[in-house]
Amino acid sequence: MTLSEQQTTQMTAADLDVITIVINDQSHQVASESNLQQIISQFALPEMGCVFAINNNVVPRSEWASTVLSQGDSISLFQAIAGG
């Protein structure tokens, strides 16, 4: 195997460990098998008074740690705003 073939093989293997997701309309690469709770922590997203939806489906707080993200998932963050 040539060096170029080895680099291609290594890049392909590395690419399998990363997925692209969208958080509030911005693309990000994250580790595959990441769950929503990990993403919230990794990107320092606010948790208090917030609701998260994946592909327009609200994820209950009790399911954040068990909700594994997939390639192309779109996460939306909605914050409660007090008003009168």
The candidate with the shortest Cα–Cα distance to 62, out of 31, 37, 45, 79, is 37
Summarize the confidence of residues 34-53 as an average pLDDT.
96
Q: How far is CA 16 from the centre of its chain?
A: 15
Record the tokens describing residue 62, joined without a space.
């009790």
Residue-averaged pLDDT of the chain: 88
pLDDT-based confidence at residue 25 (cuts at 50, 70, 90): very high
**Among all chains, which residue has been given the structure tokens 């209950």?**
60
Identify the band that residue 12 occupies on the pLDDT scale cut at 50, 70 and 90.
Answer: low
Average pLDDT over residues 50-69: 97
pTM of the predicted protein model: 0.77
Q: What are the structure tokens assigned to 11, written together?
A: 């890049």
The residue written with tokens 């580790």 in the block is: 31
Q: At residue 4, does pLDDT exceed 60? A: no
- Of 63, 67, 73, the closest CA to residue 30 belongs to 73
The pLDDT value given to residue 81: 83
Overall fold of domain 3-79 = Ubiquitin-like (UB roll) (3.10.20)
